[in-house]
Amino acid sequence: METNSVKIESALISVYDKDGLEVILEKLAEQGVRLFSTGGTYDFIKDKGYKVETVESQTGYPSILGGRVKTLHPKVFGGILAKRDDDHLGQLEKYAIEKVDLVIVDLYPFEDTVAQTNDEAAIIEKIDIGGIALIRGAAKNFNDVVIVSSKNQYTDLENILTENKGVTTLAQRKHLAAKAFMVSSHYDTAIFNYFNREQEIAVLKKSNLDAKSLRYGENPHQSARFYGQFDEVFEKLNGKELSFNNLVDIDAAIGLMNEFQEAKPTFAILKHNNACGVATRNTISEAWDAALAADNISAFGGILIANASIDLETAQKIDKLFYEVLLAPSFEEDALQFLSKKSKRVLLQTKKFQSPSKTVRTLLNGTIEQDADLVLNTDFKTVTKISPSEQQTKDLVFASKCVKHLKSNAIALVKNEQLLSMGCGQTSRIDALKQAVTKAGNFNMDLDGAIMSSDAFFPFPDCVEYAASVGVKAVVQPGGSIKDQLSIDAADENKVIMVMTGERHFKH
């Protein structure tokens, strides 16, 4: 045999799912491997006509506590964890412990049980203790022991038994050990996710958060609830109950307008989480006109938000459009009376709102958390021969704020602190730009002298070249591509200014 090879002479088998095991048993029996097992696995092996010894015959203890303790014993783990050196082998002989060369485990189906029932007692009983301990012990001692940690690995074992006559190499054992720790890690994560969800629900129940049923979720066939306190974010002055989609759009609107808290009067119009119109002007009425001009079609049924008080002049303009929700820090009394004539129209008076520092989302069979994207770097680095003017710098900042809150891949086209057009949610950046240019043309927005902002770097110079061809004079982007210089060169060739922020703003 090769150096570090191990011949499988004994095996401990403890599996929940017996599918596929019989093929392995046949191979082990052919090669005279001594088998140990317990519980249902022992009965299965014996019923198939194979010679097998009980773990209890080795430990001197029966399975106890309703099967919770079967293999947790020094005579089991001593045989698994013992190094094949004189010291450890001598201790095995002294304490009459049989060495174990192969461990086969298939864990209790914890995730399947969670998916099938809400019975906590049944779920807890499917947390495998002995099986996980066997996997970790055998994997730790991969230098001398083979671990098969799932029925999905029977093919690996069958190949070893068939092609190598049960002789394993160190590389094979280490590979199986890596798989074993992956199985163990996944299993423990599933258990954590179950308990963490339970804890999150318990925290919600014990907290002062309202559990508010919504009309329905994203679609009528989906139920939905909101855990939180509306009155910390806004005061509802008028209108029907808020829906799931309303809340998602309101959250996006507040997130965007947080970027303009200290700006001159600014208005934004959002549809499906994306801004289709944003503008900053000397008055809120002028800001509304400029925001609507970019896309008065998408604005229909949208979410409107302002950073300044709504006066009667603005209210009368807004009243011509059907919209879902209007948010503002205040409403002048005559404007509020005018807008409240339509009982279903939702009017929300926003309060000083601090964006949460974390974002949380359910994902696969668990929860994913990240730091919220609260960064906006306006300390631009000019990388082209030409530098931006004072007005262009204002527009570069404005464009950066807009594109940060668009779905990736995203492009924003801006001029004079007005969002002229945008492209978002595209699978390529050039497609996002082409979408933005087409939209600008549809609404007669003049792109000559415009600013282009991108949420991520340009992997190719095509966006810069195309933008220059339609009149864009300055570009702000994060940079960071290994091909940045190609885009910089294209900007210089077309007399386009380019600045970089060093901060990407993907939004998936």
Query: Any idea what the Cα angle at residue 81 is, between residues 5 and 101, rounded to 5°?
Result: 40
Q: Which residues of 420-440 are buried (b: 16+ CB within 10 A; e: fewer)?
A: bbbbbbbeebbebbbbbbebb
d(C-alpha 190, C-alpha 365), whole Å = 7
Catalytic-role residue among 88, 272, 394, 434: 272
Q: For residue 78, list its beta bridge partners.
A: none
Catalytic-role residue among 46, 99, 140, 236: 140
User: Which single residue is written with the structure tokens 């998408």?
Assistant: 298
User: Which single residue is written with the structure tokens 């099938």?
Assistant: 116
- Rg of the chain's alpha carbons, rounded to an integer? 33
Active-site annotation holds for 73: no
What is the residue-wise DSSP string for 186-203?
HHHHHHHHHHHHHHHHHH
* Ordered alpha helix ranges (H), 294-389: 312-318, 333-339
Active-site annotation holds for 140: yes
Residue at 493: amino acid letter:
E
Counting beta carbons within 10 angstroms of the beta carbon of residue 271, is it exposed (0 to 12), middle (13 to 18) or buried (19 or more)?
Answer: buried
Residues contacting 89, CB < 8 A, separation 6+: 82, 99
Return the DSSP state at 331.
B
Residue at 28: amino acid letter:
L
Catalytic (active-site) positions: 140, 272
